Amino acid sequence: MKASRALATCLILAGIIVGGSTSLAVDNPPFVRITPADVHWQDLPGGHGVQIATLLGDPSKSGIYVIRVKFPPHLMSAPHWHPHERYVTVLEGTWYTGTGDTFDPAHAVPLKPDSFMFHPAKATHWDGSAGDEAVIVQITGEGPATTTPVDPKQPDWLEAHR
């Protein structure tokens, strides 16, 4: 009797361990490692030299995504907003950011590399490179990611000189 109870206990524990570890192996997503050589830049259509690289996810679909955006010197976006929150880290260059419906590079806030900015959902802003250097930012957000201009009659990209 004791032997069969001990065997049953061992089988139950083995089932829990095997079942639990199998569940963990299936449920855990794979690690993702991306080296600089793995970053594939693509021209943003109509972006006047702005390039984008998707690192994780798909910004056009539901779910989390991570992208990088490269702004050429002296090019900034016109005032616009996005439907979801976005988390932005400056990787290279000085990224100039402004909030509100009025584009005015003289009032932009410069953010150097390693700076961070949170964009609330539907908050109007404009940003880019107002200086002589290219800028690269990394953006994490939830898709689908769209951009809605404040004034559709205004161009999407504006030349900026500080």
Output the tens digit of pLDDT for each of the chain's 162 residues. Answer: 555 554 444 444 444 444 444 444 567 888 999 999 999 999 999 999 999 999 999 999 999 999 999 999 999 999 999 999 999 999 999 999 999 999 999 999 999 999 999 999 999 999 999 999 999 999 999 999 999 999 999 889 888 865
For the full predicted model, state whether its pTM sits above 0.85. no
The answer to whether 83 and 65 are in contact (CB under 8 A) is: no
Query: How far is residue 116's CA from residue 102's CA, in Å, rounded to a whole number?
Result: 22
Annotated domain spans of the chain = 1-30, 36-159
Please tell me the class of the 36-159 domain.
Answer: mainly beta
* End-to-end Cα spacing for the chain: 87
